[in-house]
Structure 1
Amino acid sequence: MSLQRVTQSGSLFLDASGAQMTLRGVNLGGDSKVPYPDGGTQFPSDFADHREVSFIGRPFPLAEADEHLARIARWGFNTLRLLTTWEAVEHAGPGLYDDVYLDYFAEVARLAGEHGLYLFVDFHQDVWSRMTGGDGAPGWIFESVGLDFTAFASAEAAHVMQARYDYTSTEKRQATYPQMSWGSNYRLPANGVMWTLFWAGRWVTPDFTIDGENVQDFLQGHYLGAMDAVAQRLAHMPHVLGFDTLNEPGLGWLAQPLSYRHLAASAANPERPRIGPALAPLDALALARGCAVSVPVLTRQEDGSAAPTDERVFNPDRVSIWRDGTTCPFEAAGVYRLEGGAPVALREDAFTARNGRNVKLDDDVFAPFYARVAETIRRRQPAWSVFAEMDAFAHAAGRLFPRELPERVVNASHWYDVRTLYLKRFEPRDGLEATAARFRDELGGIASAADAFPGGAPTLIGEFGIPYDLAGGADYARWAAGQRDSLWPQHEAALDLMYDAIDALGLHSTQWNYTASNRNDLRIGDNWNQEDLSIFSADQIDDARHPDAGGRALGGFCRPYAPRVQGRTALVSFDRDSGRFELRFTADASIAGATVIYAPRVQYPDGWVVRFEGVPAEIVRDDARQRIALRALSSGEAVLTLERPPADPL
Structure 2
Amino acid sequence: MLLFMLSGRFGFEPLEDVFANYGLSIYVTRLVKVGRRIRSTYYVDTGSGWTGPEATKAALCVETCGLEVAKYPKMIWPTNYFKMACATMFSLFWGGSKCAPSCRVNGIPVQEYLQSRYLDAMAELAEALKGLTNIVGFGTMNEPSSGYLGLEDLSKHFHHGELKYDLAPTPFEGMALADGYQQVVQRWSNGANQHVLGRPDKLVTVDPNGVRAWQQGRRCIWREEGIWDVDSTTGKPVLLRPDHFAGIMFGRDCYVPFAARFAERIRSILPHTLLFIELPPLEFSIDEFPEIDDTLIPRAVNATHWYDGVTLFLRAWRPYFTVDPRTKRPAFGYTAVRRTHMKQLAGIKGYGSEQMNNAPTLIGETGIPYNMHGGKAFRSGDFSAQVGALDNTISCLEASLVSFTLWCYTSDNCNGYGDQWNLEDLSLISMHKPIRSGAQLSVPERDSCARAVQAFARPYAARIAGTPLKSEFILDRVEFVSDPTKSNEAAMHPTEVFVLQLLPQRLLSRDVRWTILRPVALWLGHSELSA
TM-score normalized by structure 2?
0.86
Q: Pick from 317, 336, 343: which aligns with 1:426?
A: 317
Alignment of 1:188-587 (within 5 A): 188-262=83-157, 269-301=159-191, 305=195, 307-340=199-232, 341-352=235-246, 358-393=247-282, 399-404=288-293, 406-429=297-320, 430-479=332-381, 487-521=382-416, 524-540=417-433, 546-586=445-485
Give the SS at the match of 1:563.
strand
CA 1:166/1:330 → structure 2, altered by over 3 Å: closer, same or farther? closer
Shift of 1:247: 1.1
Q: Which residue of 1 aligns with 2:323?
A: none
Distance in 2 (alpha carbons) for counterparts of 1:136 and 1:443: 36
Distance in 1 (alpha carbons) for counterparts of 2:35 and 2:181: 18
Query: Is residue 157–residue 171 contact of structure 2 (8 Å, CA) maintained in 1?
Result: no
Unaligned runs of 5+ in 2: 43-54, 321-331, 436-441
Distance in 2 (alpha carbons) for counterparts of 1:592 and 1:139: 57
CA 1:623/1:382 → structure 2, altered by over 3 Å: closer, same or farther? closer
- Count the aligned residue pairs: 495
Query: Is residue 436–residue 498 contact of structure 1 (8 Å, CA) maintained in 2?
Result: no
Q: Which residue of 2 aligns with 1:164?
A: 65
Shift of 1:398: 5.7
Q: Give per-residue Cα distances to partners, 1:347-396, cap 9 Å, x unaligned.
A: 222111xxxxx211221111112112211211111211111111113676
Distance in 2 (alpha carbons) for counterparts of 1:121 and 1:455: 28
Shift of 1:435: 2.3
State the structure with bigger RCO (CA 8 A, min sep 6), 1 or 2: 1
CA 1:465/1:450 → structure 2, altered by over 3 Å: closer, same or farther? same
Alignment of 1:53-72 (within 5 A): none
Query: Is residue 121–residue 243 contact of structure 1 (8 Å, CA) maintained in 2?
Result: no
2:215 is matched by which residue type in structure 1? Answer: R
Query: Is residue 566–residue 588 contact of structure 1 (8 Å, CA) maintained in 2?
Result: no
Query: Is residue 121–residue 244 contact of structure 1 (8 Å, CA) maintained in 2?
Result: no
Shift of 1:185: 1.3
Unaligned runs of 5+ in 1: 1-105, 264-268, 353-357, 480-486, 633-637, 643-650
Give the SS at the match of 2:200.
strand
Query: Is residue 612–residue 641 contact of structure 1 (8 Å, CA) maintained in 2?
Result: no
Alignment root-mean-square deviation, CA: 2.7
2:56 is matched by which residue type in structure 1? Answer: A
Distance in 2 (alpha carbons) for counterparts of 1:418 and 1:334: 38
Shift of 1:593: 6.7
Give the SS at the match of 1:308.
coil
Q: Which residue of 2 aligns with 1:44?
A: none
CA 1:310/1:395 → structure 2, altered by over 3 Å: closer, same or farther? closer
2:496 pairs with 1:596? yes
Q: Which residue of 1 aligns with 2:70?
A: 173
More displaced stretch, 204-213 vs 556-565: 204-213
Distance in 1 (alpha carbons) for counterparts of 2:184 and 2:260: 41
Give the SS at the match of 1:337.
strand
Give the SS at the match of 2:342.
helix
More displaced stretch, 218-227 vs 343-352: 343-352
Shift of 1:238: 2.4
Shift of 1:507: 0.3
Shift of 1:313: 1.8
Give the SS at the match of 1:462.
strand
More displaced stretch, 249-258 vs 317-326: 249-258
Q: Give per-residue Cα distances to partners, 1:579-610, cap 9 Å, x unaligned.
A: 221111135748997421011233x3233234
Distance in 1 (alpha carbons) for counterparts of 2:157 and 2:453: 41
1:311 is matched by which residue type in structure 2? Answer: L
2:56 pairs with 1:155? yes
Alignment of 1:41-56 (within 5 A): none
Q: Give per-residue Cα distances to partners, 1:193-223, cap 9 Å, x unaligned.
A: 2111111111222122112311111111111
CA 1:207/1:396 → structure 2, altered by over 3 Å: closer, same or farther? closer
Shift of 1:304: 8.4
CA 1:318/1:376 → structure 2, altered by over 3 Å: closer, same or farther? same
